[in-house]
Amino acid sequence: MLSADMNMPFATFFKKRWQNWLNRRIPPVREVTLNQRRIFIFLSRQGGMASLVLVALFVGGINYANNLLLGLCFFLGALFVIVIHHTYANLSGLRITAIAARPAFAGEDAAFILRFDDARGREHESLLIEWEGSTLPVEWVQGATEVTVPLPTQRRGWYRPSRLRLSSLYPVGFIRAWTWLDMDMAAIVYPHPEASELMPVGAGTDGEGETRRTRGQDDFEGLKGFTPGDPLAHVSWKHLARGQGMLTKHYAGEEAQSDVLDWNALPGLPIETRLSRLTWWVLTLSQQGRTYGLRLPGHELPLDSGLDHRDECLRVLALFGRERS
Amino acid sequence: MGTVHVRYWQLAAFLLAILPQYDRLPSWLLAGVVLSCVWRLPSVERRIGLPGTIVRILLLLAGLAGVYTSHNTLLGPEGGVSFLILAAALKLLESRNARDIFVLGILDFFLLATAFLFSQSLLLTIYVAVALVGIVGALLVQQQRQGVGLRRTVWRAFVLVGQAVPLMMILFVFFPRLPPIWTLNLTQSTGKTGMSDTISPGDIARLGQSSEPAFRVEFEGEAPPTRELYWRGLVLSRFDGKTWTQGNEVPVEWGGGVPDGSIVNQDDTLQSVNYRITLEATDKPWLFALAIPRSNTREVGITRDFRLLKRTPVFSRFSYDVTSYTNDPMDSAGLSAWTHRENLSLPANANEQTKAQARRWRALMGSDARFVSYVLEWFRKEPFYYTLEPPPLGENRIDQFLFKTRRGFCEHYASSFVFMLRAAGIPARVVVGYQGGEKSPLGDYWQIRQMDAHAWTEVWLPGRGWVGYDPTAAVAPERIERGAQGLANDASYWGDSGLSVMRYGNYKLFRQARQMMDYVNYRWQKSVLGYDTEDQTSLMRRLVGDTSLLKQLGIMVSLLAVLGISLLLWALYGQRRREHPVDRLYRRYCERMARSGLVRAAGEGPHDFASRVAVSQPKEAERAMQIAKVYGALRYREDAPDTPVMIRRLKRLTRGRG
C-alpha cells in the first residue's frame, strides 16, 4: 500500500500528461473523422508471433543458403508492410458521430449511441470498440451504421465516460490500428430505485396515500411559494404584509390527496437512500398513471403526470447536489 | 469468430501447408493429421466433442515417441518437420479461441516454408505461392466480418499476396546475403538417383534408364567434342571379383592448388577449357570434371588422383567453376610403389582363363602400348554387343563375359579390360562418371543426365602417365560419339522387353517438352536458387558501376520507399468506392455550373443550390429546380418511384445545355 501511495503521484502525473497530450491531439468533439493525426498503428500480439516466424525463416534461409526460404521470409516482411497500409486504410476516413446517451439507473447500463459512416462512402470492416471495460465489435460499416454501446454505471449524476478505444486488426491481424476518442458524451444516471412500504408524502403520513384527511389548522405543515391555482384562502397574508412575498399555507391532508413526494417525509435516512426511495415512488406512481409532485430541498416539481414529468423528476433526483457547473 | 466458415478455412490451410511433406511423413503421422482434421469438422465435433487434457497429453507423448522412433531424433529437418506437424495437429485439437486459430495459421506458414528444405523445384514454388493465398485467406477470415463470400475472400487474399510480391522481389534482389550463422547439414536423405562409390554389376544399367538430370555445364567459349567429354567422378582401383571400390584414402589439396602429379605449374602451353558445373544434390562429396581439373570455388579441393571433392556432401544444388587442362598428363613422372601395387592387384584363384590369355598376349606384343591396342582391337573385332540388359553372370564373371556371353555395357567392358591389363602387369583402374551430355537447343549449356553415367578406364604407361581408354567405344562407338541420350533415340537401346517399345515412344514424345522444362529449370536454378552475393555485385556493377554495400542498401530502401509511398497514397486517396451513378450525374452538373461561375458550397443542399441558381441565372431556374427535385427523390427517398425512368430523366436534364 505504501509503495502504491508513493507511486500514485508519478502514475497520475503521467496519466495526466497523456490525457493532456491526447486532448490536444484528439480534442473532445461530437463528430470526428479519423485521419493520420488520430490513428495510431503498431504491431499486434499476433504480429509479434508472426515476426518470430519471420526471424526463424531468415536464420533458416541464411544457414541452409536456401534462397527460397529467404524468399518466404521476405514475403512475410513484405506482407507486414502491405498490411500496415490496409489496416490504416480500414480506419482512415471513418467518421464517428455522437448521437445520444440514454439515461440509466445507477448500477445498470447506460446506452451510448454512436454513428459510424464514411464521407467518401468507403466500407470499413471489423472494428472493435473498447470503452470503460466493455468491448463491442462493429462488424461492418457500410453507409451509416448506428452502434449502441452499453456502459455500466455506478453512481447517480452525470456519467461522462473516459475515452473509447476504436481499433482494427483487419486484414490479417499482424498490425493493430487504433484511436482514442472522447465523443464528449454524458449520460444522466438516475438513483438506483429502492422499494419502500410507506409513500414518502408530507410529514408522517401512514397509509399508501389512500388516507384522506380533512384539512385543518392542526395539519398545517409549512409554507411554500405561491403558484397560480393555489386557493387564495391559503395565502399567508402575514408574510405578504412583512414583504416576504406571496406564500401559501400547506396542510398535510392536502399532500395525501395530491401525492407530493417529499424529501422531508424520509427523516433520518441517508441522502442516497432517500433519493433511491423517492425514485422508486416516482416510477411506481408514474406506472400507475397517477398525478404526483416532488419536493426536494431547493426543488419543487408541481403535480403532474406523464412521461415527461417522470423524466423531469428523475432528472432532479439524479442531479440533486450534483448539478454540473 | 469461431464460426464454421473460419473452421473450414483453418483446416484447408493446414492441409495446404503439409501437403508437400506427405510422402516424407511417417504414415502413422499422416493418419493422425487426417484424423485430427476430421475430428475438427463441425459435424463430427458436435457429436463427440474435443479430447480432454489427459487424452491430449497421452497423444502428445505417443506422438513424440512415434517421431523419435521414425526418425531417431526430434531435431534436424525431417524429425523437426514431423515434430512440428505433430504439434500443429495437436494444437488443432485444442484450438478454441481466436488466438489459437491465429497461432495455427502462422504455424501453417512455417510448415509450408519447411517444404523448401527438401525441394526447391519451380513446381513446388508455384504450389507454395498458391498455398500462400490459402493461408492468408485463413488469417483473413478470422479478421473480416462474417458473410463475405468465398470468392471475395479469395480475391482479398490474392490482392494481399499480389501486393506483397513486388516488395518481396526488391528485398530478394537487394537484401545482402549473409554467410551462415552456424553450419548445419541436412540429414542424409536416401534414395537419390546417382553414383555410389562402388560399382557392382547392374549399378550403371540402373542409372542408364533414368533421364533425371545429373548436372549442367556452361562452357566459356567452345565446348570440346562430345567424344572427349569424360566427366570423371570416381577412381576405383580395388576389385574383389565382383565389385569395384575406391583404393586407399588419397591426399586432398584444398584451395585451388594442384596435386604433385600434374605439370600445370611447369608448362603454360597446356590447352585449357573453362566451365561452370551446377550439380544436383547427390548427398555425396565428389564432384565431376574433365581431366585435369582445377577449381577456385570455395570448399572445393583436388585429390591426388585428380578428382574434385567438396569438403561437405552436396546436399543441395551446388555450382563450381573449373578450369581443365585437357592435355596435362597425370603422374607422368612415375607412380609411387604402393599406387603401382594397388593398381595391379587382382583376386587370386578366379578368372584364370582371362589371366592366362592376357599374359600370353602381353608376351607376344612386346610393349604395353601395343598390348593395349591389341586388346581394344580384339573387343572391336569379336562379336561383343552393347546392351543395357545383359544376361546374368555367375562366378568367374570376367571369364564368362569375355568368352561366353559377350553382351554387356560399359561396366562389363571397363571391368574386364582393366582385369586383362592388370593380369598382364600394366597398372590400370576403372573410372566412373558421366560421358557426353546433350547440348540444350534453348540455353547455352550442356545437360548431363543419369543415363549418361559411364565407366571407362585409365592405364598407366611409362612416360605418358595415366591415359584414358574406353573399351566401350571400341564395341559401341556410337555410344561415345552421340552419347547415351542420342543413342536413346534408337529403339534397340532400350532392349527387347515388351515395355521398351512404349518407353522408346514416350522418350521421343516427351523429348521436346523435356527440353523446354530443362531450360526453364535451368533459368530457375541459375537466376533464383543460385542467386548469390556474386550475382548481387555484378548486378550492382551494371546498375551503378559500384559494388558498395551502402549503395546496394540505398537502392533497396529507395525502391521500397517508392512502393511504400504509392501504397500509402492508395490507402489515403485510392480505394474510392464506386460513385453512385445518380451522384455522378449531379456532381458533373455542379461542375458545369461551377465553370459558369456558380460554385455549390460544401454541404449546400440541392434545393438551396437550385434557388441560388434561379436567382442568378433566371434562364436556368426551371431546369435547376427540376434537377434538384429529381435528384432529391432519387437519393433521399427510400421508395424512389420508377428509378430507371427517373435516372434517364436526370441524365437528360443534367446533360442538356439550356
The predicted pLDDT at position A269 comes to: 86
Of A69, A77, A126, the CB nearest to B143: A126
Mean pLDDT of chain B: 82
Weakest mean pLDDT among B100-104, B184-188, B232-236:
B184-188
> Which helix (H) or strand (E) covers residue B565, if one does?
helix B549-573
- Residues B155-182 have a mean pLDDT of 88
Sign of the four-CA dihedral A149, A150, A154, A157: positive
Question: How close, in Å, is residue A306 to chain B by CA atoms?
Answer: 34
Whether A11 is in a domain gets the answer no
The string of pLDDT tens digits covering residues B5-31 is 888 999 999 999 999 988 888 889 999
Weakest mean pLDDT among A28-42, A97-111, A197-211:
A197-211
Whether A47 is in a domain gets the answer yes
Contacts 24+ apart (CB under 8 A), A132-140: A132/A161, A132/A162, A132/A164, A139/B145, A139/B146, A140/B145
**Residues of chain B positioned with their CB less than 8 A from the CB of A170:** 143-144
The residue that leads in pLDDT, B656 or B454, is: B454
Residues A135 and A260 in one domain: no
| b/e burial code for range B333-344 (CB count within 10 A of at least 16 → b) | eebeeebeebbb
Contact A46 B99 (CB under 8 A): yes
Contact A60 B571 (CB under 8 A): no
Of B529, B568, B576, the CB nearest to A67: B529
- In whole angstroms, what is the distance from residue A263 CA to residue A255 CA? 13
Q: DSSP E strands: which ranges in chain A?
A: 31-33, 40-43, 94-101, 104-105, 109-118, 124-131, 134-141, 145-152, 157-159, 164-168, 175-181, 187-190, 220-225, 247-251, 260-262, 292-296, 299-304
Whether A244 is in a domain gets the answer yes
Of A63, A77, A85, the CB nearest to B568: A85
Residues A99 and A151 in one domain: yes
The residue that leads in pLDDT, B572 or B560, is: B560
- Under 8 Å CB pairs connecting chains A and B tally to 150
Q: Which pLDDT band holds residue B295 (cuts at 50, 70, 90)?
A: confident
Q: Which of B84, B102, B173 to mutate to test the interface with A (most CBs of A within 10 A)?
A: B102
Of B99, B120, B181, the CB nearest to A63: B181
Report chain B's C-alpha Rg in angstroms. 37
Contact B128 A76 (CB under 8 A): no
Domain final residue, candidates A174, A190, A206: A190
The predicted pLDDT at position B17 comes to: 94
Is residue B499's pLDDT more than 90? no
Is residue A202's pLDDT more than 70? no
| Nearest chain B residue (CA) to A137 | B145
Whether A1 is in a domain gets the answer no
- Sequence length of chain B is 658
The string of pLDDT tens digits covering residues B540-549 is 888 888 778 8
- Residues A53-65 have a mean pLDDT of 89
Interior angle at CA A101, CA A99 and CA A105, nearest 5 = 165
The predicted pLDDT at position A112 comes to: 93
| Nearest chain A residue (CA) to B528 | A67
Residues A156 and A305 in one domain: no
Enclosing domain of residue A260? 217-319
Residues A146 and A106 in one domain: yes
C-alpha cell at A213: 384527511
Contact B145 A139 (CB under 8 A): yes
C-alpha cell at B476: 559401341
- Residues B29-45 have a mean pLDDT of 89
- Residues B371-397 have a mean pLDDT of 85
**Residues of chain B positioned with their CB less than 8 A from the CB of A64:** 117, 180, 184, 186, 316
Contact B128 A123 (CB under 8 A): no
Q: Which pLDDT band holds residue A62 (cuts at 50, 70, 90)?
A: confident
| Nearest chain B residue (CA) to A123 | B577
CA distances from B599 to B610, B613, B619, B653 (A): 11, 10, 17, 19
Residues A285 and A165 in one domain: no
Q: Helices H, strands E: what count in chain A?
A: 7, 17
**Residues of chain A positioned with their CB less than 8 A from the CB of B171:** 74, 77-78
Question: How close, in Å, is residue A80 to chain B by CA atoms?
Answer: 8
| Nearest chain B residue (CA) to A86 | B571
| Nearest chain A residue (CA) to B564 | A81
- Residues B430-436 have a mean pLDDT of 89
The predicted pLDDT at position B124 comes to: 92
Interior angle at CA A199, CA A195 and CA A205, nearest 5 = 145
Residues A29 and A139 in one domain: yes
Contact B143 A171 (CB under 8 A): yes
Is residue B655's pLDDT more than 90? no
What are phi and psi for residue A70, nearest 5 degrees? Answer: -60, -40
Whether A283 is in a domain gets the answer yes
- In whole angstroms, what is the distance from residue A94 CA to residue B25 CA? 49
Residues A167 and A221 in one domain: no
Dihedral in degrees, nearest 10, Cα atoms B87, B91, B93, B94: 140
% of chain A with per-residue pLDDT over 90:
38
3-state secondary structure of A294: strand
Q: Which pLDDT band holds residue B484 (cuts at 50, 70, 90)?
A: low
**Residues of chain A positioned with their CB less than 8 A from the CB of B142:** 173
Contacts 24+ apart (CB under 8 A), A82-85: A82/B160, A82/B163, A82/B164, A82/B167, A82/B567, A83/A171, A83/A172, A83/A174, A83/A175, A83/B160, A84/A41, A84/A175, A85/B567, A85/B568, A85/B570, A85/B571
The predicted pLDDT at position B185 comes to: 44
Q: Which amino acid is at A257?
A: Q
The string of pLDDT tens digits covering residues B59-77 is 889 988 988 888 777 777 7
The predicted pLDDT at position B596 comes to: 81
CA atoms within 13 A on the CB side of B345: 16
- Residues B432-440 have a mean pLDDT of 85
Question: How close, in Å, is residue B147 to chain A by CA atoms?
Answer: 10
- Residues B641-651 have a mean pLDDT of 77
Q: Which residues have a Cβ under 8 Å from the Cβ of B325 and sit 6 or more positions away?
A: B262, B264, B270, B271, B272, B292, B294
Of A70, A92, A169, the CB nearest to B143: A169
3-state secondary structure of B24: coil
For B462-503, the DSSP string reads TTTEEEEE-HHHHH-HHHHHTHHHHHTTSGGGG-SSHHHHHH
The predicted pLDDT at position B226 comes to: 83
- In whole angstroms, what is the distance from residue B198 CA to residue B195 CA? 8
Residues A222 and A104 in one domain: no
Tracing cell 463491442 back to the chain, one arrives at A136
Contact A82 B530 (CB under 8 A): no
**Residues of chain A positioned with their CB less than 8 A from the CB of B145:** 125-126, 139-140
**Residues of chain B positioned with their CB less than 8 A from the CB of A31:** none
The predicted pLDDT at position B502 comes to: 52
Question: How close, in Å, is residue B316 to chain A by CA atoms?
Answer: 9
**Pick from A171, A148, A150: nearest CA to A161:** A150
Of B109, B117, B575, the CB nearest to A64: B117
C-alpha cell at B351: 578368372
- Residues B285-295 have a mean pLDDT of 89
Residues A172 and A315 in one domain: no
The predicted pLDDT at position B292 comes to: 84
Contact A63 B175 (CB under 8 A): no
Q: Which pLDDT band holds residue B191 (cuts at 50, 70, 90)?
A: very low
The predicted pLDDT at position B2 comes to: 45
**Residues of chain A positioned with their CB less than 8 A from the CB of B577:** 120-123
The string of pLDDT tens digits covering residues B579-596 is 667 777 888 888 888 888
Q: Which pLDDT band holds residue A226 (cuts at 50, 70, 90)?
A: low
Is residue B495's pLDDT more than 80? no
Angle of helix B368-381 relative to helix B352-365, nearest 10 degrees, comes to 120
Q: Which pLDDT band holds residue A213 (cuts at 50, 70, 90)?
A: very low
Contact B568 A77 (CB under 8 A): no
Q: Which residues have a Cβ under 8 Å from the Cβ of A32 and sit 6 or more positions away?
A: A26, A38, A95, A96, A181, A183
Whether A325 is in a domain gets the answer no
Active site residues of B: 410, 454, 470
**Residues of chain B positioned with their CB less than 8 A from the CB of A77:** 167-168, 171
CA distances from B179 to A100, B176, B532 (A): 63, 10, 11
Whether A10 is in a domain gets the answer no
Weakest mean pLDDT among A239-253, B301-315, B360-374, B404-418:
A239-253
**Residues of chain A positioned with their CB less than 8 A from the CB of B103:** 49
| Burial (CB count within 10 angstroms: exposed 0-12, middle 13-18, buried 19+), residue B272 | middle
Residues A249 and A157 in one domain: no
Domain final residue, candidates A190, A207, A231: A190
Number of domains in chain A: 2
**Residues of chain B positioned with their CB less than 8 A from the CB of A126:** 143-145
Interface ipTM? 0.75
3-state secondary structure of A65: coil
| Nearest chain A residue (CA) to B172 | A71
- Read off the pTM: 0.64
Weakest mean pLDDT among A204-213, A282-291, B191-200, B326-335:
A204-213
The predicted pLDDT at position B506 comes to: 61
- Residues B132-138 have a mean pLDDT of 95
Tracing cell 536456401 back to the chain, one arrives at A66
% of chain B with per-residue pLDDT over 90:
21
Of B178, B181, B567, the CB nearest to A82: B567
The residue that leads in pLDDT, B207 or A200, is: A200
The string of pLDDT tens digits covering residues B88-126 is 999 888 877 888 889 999 999 999 999 998 888 888 999
Residues A56 and A185 in one domain: yes
Contact yes or no for A310/A278 (Cβ under 8 A): no
The predicted pLDDT at position B374 comes to: 92
Angle of helix B150-174 relative to helix B533-544, nearest 10 degrees, comes to 80
Residues A310 and A270 in one domain: yes
- Sequence length of chain A is 325
Contact A89 B186 (CB under 8 A): no
The predicted pLDDT at position A207 comes to: 38
Q: Which pLDDT band holds residue A4 (cuts at 50, 70, 90)?
A: very low
The string of pLDDT tens digits covering residues B321-332 is 999 988 888 888
- Residues A1-18 have a mean pLDDT of 66
| Nearest chain A residue (CA) to B603 | A119
Contact A60 B576 (CB under 8 A): no
Mean pLDDT of chain A: 82
Whether A200 is in a domain gets the answer no
The predicted pLDDT at position B549 comes to: 82
